[in-house]
Structure formats: structure tokens, C-alpha cells
Amino acid sequence: MKTLRVGIASYAEMKARTLAIARGELKAKPSDPKVWFTSPESFAKLLSNRNRALLAVIAESRPASLHELAARTGRAPSNLSRTLHTMERYGLVRLHKSARGAVRPEVSYRDVHLEMSLSDA
């Protein structure tokens, strides 16, 4: 598995960076963050201890469905669904839907690296 690179920047900084790339003034490097958060707190909330434990269960047990994962973790399927959809938005998991409607979660990254300038804190 790959490593997800995460950056912390204000909305204005992210917008300025995106526009500079679009104008050709800045070239994104392969090592640049792929996912951005506006605060360390929002990043910490997504990767709380409980959510990291959930990712570990998914990686180790490779559940075939959301209901199997719910049984393994003791969490309600609706709660898991909401959490996993949020994680999917940030690329931490992939949700594979079968023809019968079952959802199989899969962890996308083994490691997450945070890049943040302390001068912007």
C-alpha cells in the first residue's frame, strides 16, 4: 500500500495554490500532499483513536460487508456507513459495492504523513 500525504492550510492558501497550478505558475510535485485540511483539529477528528482502530480492523480482517464490519467492531451499521463515507471522501478507504448492494470497505493507504508549517499555526 502507498502513503497518503496530507497537508494543512487555510482555505485561502489552498485556493491560491490551486489557482497557481491551474495558471501554470506552480507545478505540483509527486511528493506534494494529495489531501488538504483547513485545520489540524479537523484532521485529528478524522483520524481519532477510534477511527484508526476501525481502519486497523478493516486492514486486518478484510470484511466482506459493512454488516460483517459492524459485527466485528460493535458499531451500528449506520454509524459505520457515515464514518466510512467521510473517510472515502478523503481517500482513506474505498467502498466497493456489489451487485446485491453489499458494501465492502478496503483501506487505501498503510501510512499517512502530515505536512504542516508551524509558522502558520
CATH number at residue 103: 1.10.10.10
Which residue range(s) make up the domain with 64? 2-120
- Kindly report, residue by residue over 53-80, the tens digit of the pLDDT: 999 999 999 999 999 999 999 999 999 9
Q: How many domains does one find in the chain?
A: 1
Give me the sign of the Cα torsion angle 27, 4, 86, 12: negative
Q: What is the C-alpha separation between 116 and 51, in angstroms, rounded?
A: 21
Contact residues for 110 (Cβ-Cβ < 8 A; gap 6+): 1, 2, 3, 59
116 has pLDDT over 80? no
| Residue pair 51/69 in contact by the 8 Å Cβ criterion | no
- Mean pLDDT over 29-50 rounds to 91
